Amino acid sequence: MQLIYPQRPGEKDIPTVTTVEVYDLFGEIVDRKDAQAIKIYMPFLKEEHFIIVCHKKPSLHRMSYCIDGTQIFGEIVLIKRKGAEEEVILIK
């Protein structure tokens, strides 16, 4: 998984990007060939975003995944967090 982050001229703050484990409904780690996730932390905004890409189209409820304590269902999902607020956005 790769991330492209555009910066304005002179901007020095950049987000940190880390790989995050994806878990199934039973708490088992999902193989990266099935699903991948990254965490993007933006200290200048005090926000963290998680991007989850499922390589298999989910068809059953048991194909939902858990990322950092949040259950998701979809092929591409964005989780935005700022403080105690969380927004889950289904992209695909």
- Note whether 64 and 77 are within 8 A (CB): no
Q: What is the pLDDT of residue 60?
A: 63
The pLDDT value recorded for residue 43 is: 85
**Under a CB-based contact definition with an 8 Å cutoff, are residues 17 and 3 in contact?**
yes
Are residues 68 and 39 in contact, defined by beta-carbon separation less than 8 angstroms? yes
Print pLDDT tens along the chain (92 aa).
Answer: 777 878 888 888 888 999 999 998 889 999 999 999 999 998 888 999 999 999 877 666 667 899 998 989 888 999 999 989 999 999 88
Which DSSP state fits 43? T
pTM (predicted TM-score) = 0.83
